[in-house]
A and B are shown apart, each in its own frame.
Chain A
Amino acid sequence: GQQVQQSPTSLVLQEGENAELQCNFSTSLNSMQWFYQRPGGSLISVFYNPSGTKQSGRLTSTTVIKERRSSLHISSSQITDSGTYLCAMERDMGYKLTFGTGTSLLVDP
């Protein structure tokens, strides 16, 4: 089965609304990373977050390794936040990542 489960699969927001994206892992992990991908585009690292809470502007990531979960909070969403958000876990030494299937976010004006 899927080692990395992301929810929701898709999300539509009105500009200015907040979003909470979830990532759950079925196996133990060393760390995890959040990526952003524009349609047809490459992946951009948003957070490397092995544990605890990190904030960058309107984005906040919280990872609880013992509970095998991580979340990405987007506050005051903007149209330019639209795209796909992927989480990935580093599952063993060697820095190999296992990805979730992503959350597709659309922010409407």
Chain B
Amino acid sequence: EAAVTQSPRNKVAVTGGKVTLSCNQTNNHNNMYWYRQDTGHGLRLIHYSYGAGSTEKGDIPDGYKASRPSQENFSLILELATPSQTSVYFCASGDAYEQYFGPGTRLTVL
């Protein structure tokens, strides 16, 4: 069954530390996305990718980097984590018509 998986599911990090969130999809979709979800803001697009080797900035890219080493994998990197990056992060893969979401990663930055 096609799926989007994320790891870790929960993460506690310290301010100034480096955090890497990983996403894997078996949908064979070219497009992948990273969102964060915060109360009152809904989901906001951080970075996205159209295929292996490509990354693009979304609506709120500051403080985040992304990496797409293969069709299946898309990572979100916080080089210097800050408390304002405490949130739930969702990865998605998609085609021209729909996006399919992973289970989410709850990140707490202390």
Contacts and interface: CB of A to CB of B under 8 A. Distances in A.
Q: Do A and B bind each other?
A: yes
Interface of A: 4, 31, 33, 35, 41-45, 48, 86, 88, 94-102
B44 A99 contact: yes
Nearest to A93: B96
Contacts of B45: 96-98
Given A41-B103, A42-B90, A33 B98 contact: yes
Interface in B29-53: 31, 33, 35, 40-45, 48, 50
- If over half of B's interface residues share one DSSP class (helix, strand or loop), that class is named, otherwise mixed; here it is strand
Interface in B85-110: 90, 92, 94-104
Interface of B: 31, 33, 35, 40-45, 48, 50, 56, 58-59, 90, 92, 94-104
A43 B88 CA distance: 12
Nearest 6 pairs of A and B residues by beta carbon: A99-B42, A101-B42, A43-B101, A99-B43, A42-B103, A48-B98
Contacts of B58: 96
Nearest to B95: A95
B99 A97 contact: yes
